[in-house]
Amino acid sequence: MQMRPFLLLPEIIVFLGGLVVLLGGSFLPRNRQWISRAIAALALVGAAGAAVAAMMGPAQAAFSGTYAVDTATGAARVIAALTTLLVLSVASGEIAGSPRESDTYALLLLATTGVMVLAGATDLLVLIVGFLLASIPLYGIIGLTGGRSGAEAAMKTYLMGALSGILLMAGVTVLYALAGGTDYALLQQTLPAAPAAAVGAGVLGVLSGLLFKAGGVPFHFWVPDAAQGTGATAATFLTTVPKVGALVAVYRLVATVSTGNDSWLLVAALLATASMVLGNLAAYWQSDPRRLLGWSTVAQVGFLLVPVAAAGRSELALPSLLFYLAAYALTNVAAFAVTAALPQLRELAGYRGLARTRPGLGLALLVALLGLVGTPPLAVFVGKLTTATAAWDGGHGWLALVVVLNSMLSLFYYLRWFAPVFARPAQDAMEFPERGGPAAWPAATAGLAAVASLGIGVLAGVLWAVLDGPLAM
């Protein structure tokens, strides 16, 4: 039996970093909690470096084939680690010096470890472990950083997570009974001959749990409530990092069960359509910027599910998903970082005149919102273009049209936000806070993420060459 635990070095680094921060933070005075933040940042940088090194070698399997170390796992590791690093930068302005600062950093690292495990799991039991490790710390993060409203958001997230977790484990039980095992290679061989109704019940149960982590329809209700009710740190994390592992896990599962049964690709296409349409329509009526971004997240999950519908049918499917995940992570962090830099503005109208008073923040917000729409040459544009092309290649031409129409639909509610940003300030408008102070870290993060979003959009060909690798089962 080949265990090869060294292949999980990035996960080990992040997990141990979380433990060190959790235990060490208990002995640090409040004015030196930045040490915990530095340790967390070093762990994330180290994990990203180890993940990049692993991507340079061939695809491998750890723990007797239950965990794949391939291009998809490597990309998810790097995206999750670096995105959490940006979230730490947002947290530096919001929760620095708070009583639960080190606890929050520890929970962020532990949840990120779960996200990485989700991305590489090729066994249903390992998938359950990743789901729980990514979910349980998330409830604490939402509750710790949001005060009373955060506690309510944490309860809603917990209840939805408990329901979807039960469905996931029930689905795993059904698939185990049908296949006689839980590893994906065995499922791929045995499920085509199993009763279709039983296979459908099992796969839908597992998808329920993964869609909760991704924030897609029909387990999406918690996302806008949590994004609005909790702090900026938790909102940025929950709308970005969990999706990385969850959507790679969805891709692996659908690629496994669609062997000899293309109906699961149609199911993925329908889920993508539902998430896009519902997320965009619900976002149109929102006046709170974080709630708007929460519904935007639901819509973006729909776009990210599009290449899943082409799994096994198009060579563009997997690299387009991985590229879109990287692009979305940077763009979404930029948008939420702007709201973190201006925490007192909880209405879209409050941003009136931002571009004149704080041109740097205004430009970062413009790049983020145009990026989420899918405007060239920003990174999400490349993601949407390649995912739509993958859908077309996979025989779902109608889904490519849905991507285009929903991108146009999303422009209307983003216009409701950045139109006041470039308007002339009202005479009785609230003054924007000056540069510096606690808002300096989120403002710098917004600028960095916006520039990076533009950069990988321009250099998309280079990144694509790195992401264009096979999927291991």
Per the CB < 8 A criterion, the answer to whether 432 and 359 are in contact is no
Say how far apart CA 378 and CA 91 lie, in whole Å. Answer: 26
Say how far apart CA 82 and CA 79 lie, in whole Å. Answer: 5
Three-state DSSP class for residue 61: strand
Say how far apart CA 462 and CA 97 lie, in whole Å. Answer: 41
* Structural domain spans, the chain: 262-473
Kindly report the backbone phi and psi dihedral angles of residue 123, in degrees, each rounded to the nearest multiple of 5, phi listed first. -145, 140
Residues of the chain scoring pLDDT < 70: 1, 426-438, 473
Contacts with 348 (C-beta within 8 Å, 6 or more apart), sequence order? 287, 288, 289, 292, 416, 417, 420
Say how far apart CA 309 and CA 276 lie, in whole Å. Answer: 14
Q: Cβ atoms within 10 A of the Cβ of 231, count?
A: 26
Give the pLDDT confidence score for residue 434 in this predicted structure.
Answer: 64
Q: Report how far Cα 323 is from the mean position of its chain's Cα atoms.
A: 13
Closest CA to 257 of 246, 268, 247: 268
Distance in angstroms between the alpha carbons of the first and the last residue of the chain: 17
Give the pLDDT confidence score for residue 55 in this predicted structure.
Answer: 94
- DSSP class of residue 121 equals B
> What DSSP assignment string belongs to 343-367?
TT--SGGGGTTHHHHSHHHHHHHHH
Give the pLDDT confidence score for residue 430 in this predicted structure.
Answer: 58
Closest CA to 340 of 294, 290, 293: 290
Say how far apart CA 60 and CA 473 lie, in whole Å. Answer: 10
pTM to 2 decimal places: 0.96
Helix (H) or strand (E) holding 103: helix 101-120
